[in-house]
Amino acid sequence: MALDYLSELPLPRPHKHETRRFPEGFLWGAATSSYQVEGGNDNSDWHDWDRIEGHTTDGAAAGAACDQYRRYEEDFGLAASLGQNAHRLSVEWSRIEPREGEWDMDEVVHYRRVLESLRRRGMKTMLTVWHFTLPKWFAARGGWEARDAVRLFERYTAFLARELGDLVDFWITINEPMVYLVQSYGIGVWPPGRKGPWPVLRVFRRLVRAHRAAYRALHEALDRDGRRVQVGIAKNVITYVPYRRQSLVDSLFVRLLNRLFNHQFFRKTKHHHDFIGVNYYFHYRIRYLPTKISQFFYEVHTENREVSDLGWEINPRAIFNALMEMNRYGLPILITENGIANADDAKRPRMIVATIKEVYHAIRAGVDVRGYFHWSLIDNFEWEKGYTGRFGLVAVDFATQQRTPRRSAYVYQEICRENGLPHTLLKFIGHGIRW
Q: What is the pLDDT of residue 304?
A: 86
Q: Average pLDDT of 182-195?
A: 96
User: Does 57 score more than 60 pLDDT?
Assistant: yes
Contact 259, 252 (CB under 8 A): no
Name every residue whose Cβ is closer than 8 Å to that of residue 81 and which is 6 or more positions away in sequence: none
| The total number of residues written for the chain in this structure | 435
Give the C-alpha distances (Å, rounded to integers) separating 109 from 19, 103, 166: 42, 11, 13
d(CA 109, CA 128): 17
Let me know: does 221 contact 161? Beta carbons within 8 Å: yes
Q: What is the pLDDT of residue 230?
A: 98
**Angle of helix 407-418 versus helix 348-364 axis, rounded to 10:** 20
User: How much is the pLDDT for 15?
Assistant: 61
Measure the CA–CA gap between 33 and 337, rounded to whole angstroms: 11
Rounded Cα distance between 125 and 89, Å, is: 8
Q: Where are the domains of the chain?
A: 29-429
Under 8 Å between Cβ of 279 and 336: yes
For residue 434, what pLDDT is reported? 42
Strands (E), 14-120: 20-21, 27-31, 86-90
pLDDT at 9: 56
Instruction: Return the SS3 of 278.
Output: strand
Overall average pLDDT of the 79-85 stretch: 98
**Which class does domain 29-429 fall in?**
alpha beta
Strands 276-280 and 283-286, sheet pairing: unpaired
**What confidence score (pLDDT) does residue 302 get?**
73
Question: Is the predicted pLDDT of residue 1 greater than 70, yes or no?
Answer: no
Q: What pairing do the DSSP bridges indicate for beta strands 402-405 and 394-397?
A: antiparallel
Q: How far apart are CA 292 and CA 295, in angstroms?
A: 6
Per-residue confidence band for 295, with pLDDT thresholds at 50, 70 and 90? low
Strand intervals (E) in 108-169: 124-130
Q: Are 123 and 87 in contact (CB under 8 A)?
A: yes
Q: Is the pLDDT of residue 433 over 60?
A: no
Checking if the pLDDT of 185 tops 70, the result is: yes
Q: Residue 306, Cβ neighbours under 10 Å: how many?
A: 12
What's the mean pLDDT in 200-214? 98
Q: What is the mean pLDDT of residues 303-314?
A: 92
Give the pLDDT confidence of 151-169 residue by residue, as tens digits: 999 999 999 999 999 999 9
- Answer whether residue 117 shows pLDDT above 90: yes
Mean pLDDT estimate for the chain:
94
pTM above 0.75, yes or no: yes
What is the pLDDT confidence band of residue 287, given thresholds at 50, 70 and 90? confident
Are the C-beta atoms of residues 164 and 108 closer than 8 Å to each other? yes
Closest CA to 260 of 334, 186, 323, 332: 186
Is the pLDDT higher at 216 or at 225?
Answer: 216
What pLDDT is stored for residue 289 in this prediction? Answer: 77
> What pLDDT digit, counting tens, does each position of 366-383 carry?
999 999 999 999 999 999
pLDDT at 24: 97
**Number of Cβ within a 10 Å radius of residue 179:** 21
* Cα–Cα–Cα angle for 377, 84, 74, rounded to 5 degrees: 55
Q: Average pLDDT in the 15-38 region? A: 93
**% of residues, the chain, pLDDT over 70:** 93
Q: What are φ and ψ of residue 412, in 5° steps? A: -65, -35
Give the mean model confidence (pLDDT) for residues 73-83: 98
Determine the Cα–Cα distance for residues 46 and 331; give it in Å rounded to an integer.
Answer: 34
| pLDDT at residue 288 in the model | 79
| Digit-coded pLDDT (tens) for 336-370 | 999 999 999 999 999 999 999 999 999 999 999 99
User: Does residue 322 contact residue 239 with C-beta atoms inside 8 Å?
Assistant: yes
